[in-house]
Copies of this chain bind each other. A is one copy, B any other.
Amino acid sequence: MNTVDLDTIREAHARIRERIRWTPVMTNGRLDELSGSRLFFKCENFQETGSFKARGAMNAVLSLTDAEAARGVATHSSGNHAAALSWAAGLMGIPSFVVMPSTASRIKVSAVERYGGRIVFCEPSHKAREEAADKVVRETGALLIHPYDNPRIIAGQGTAALEFLGEVPDLDAIVCPVGGGGLLAGTSIVAKGLRPGIKLLGAEPEGAADTKLSFESARRQQVEHPASIADGLLAFVGGMTFPVIRRLVDGIVTVSDQEIAAAVRQFLEVMKIVVEPSGAVAYAAVAGKRAGVGGMRVGVILSGGNLDLERTPWLK
- Residues of chain A touching chain B, judged by Cβ–Cβ distance below 8 Å, are 24, 45-46, 50, 107, 265, 268-269, 271-275, 305, 307, 309-310, 315-316
Across the interface, name the chain B residue whose C-beta is closest to A110: B269
A272 is contacted by which of B45, B265, B269, B316 (Cβ under 8 Å)? B45
Complex formed: what's the CA distance from A274 to B269 in Å? 8
Chain B contacts of A269 at CB under 8 A? 107, 274, 309
Chain B contacts of A316 at CB under 8 A? 309-310
Query: A272 to B272, Cβ gap below 8 A?
Result: no
Complex formed: what's the CA distance from A174 to B227 in Å? 47
Across the interface, name the chain B residue whose C-beta is closest to A114: B30
Count this chain's copies in the assembly.
2
Give the distance to chain B from A316, nearest Cβ to Cβ, in Å: 6
Complex formed: what's the CA distance from A275 to B273 in Å? 9
- The main secondary structure of chain A at its interface with chain B is helix
A274 is contacted by which of B24, B50, B274 (Cβ under 8 Å)? B274
5 pairs across A/B with beta carbons < 8 Å? A265-B309, A268-B307, A269-B274, A309-B315, A309-B316
Complex formed: what's the CA distance from A271 to B265 in Å? 17
User: What are the 9 A-B residue pairs with the smallest beta carbon separation, nearest first?
Assistant: A272-B305, A272-B274, A45-B272, A268-B274, A309-B315, A46-B272, A273-B273, A272-B273, A310-B316
Chain B contacts of A268 at CB under 8 A? 274, 307, 309
Give the distance to chain B from A126, nearest Cβ to Cβ, in Å: 28
Across the interface, name the chain B residue whose C-beta is closest to A51: B272
Looking at A272, A273, A309, A315, the one whose CB has the most chain B CB atoms below 10 A away is: A272
Give the distance to chain B from A87, nearest Cβ to Cβ, in Å: 12
Give the distance to chain B from A42, nearest Cβ to Cβ, in Å: 14
Looking at A24, A107, A268, A316, the one whose CB has the most chain B CB atoms below 10 A away is: A268
A24 is contacted by which of B24, B45, B50 (Cβ under 8 Å)? B24
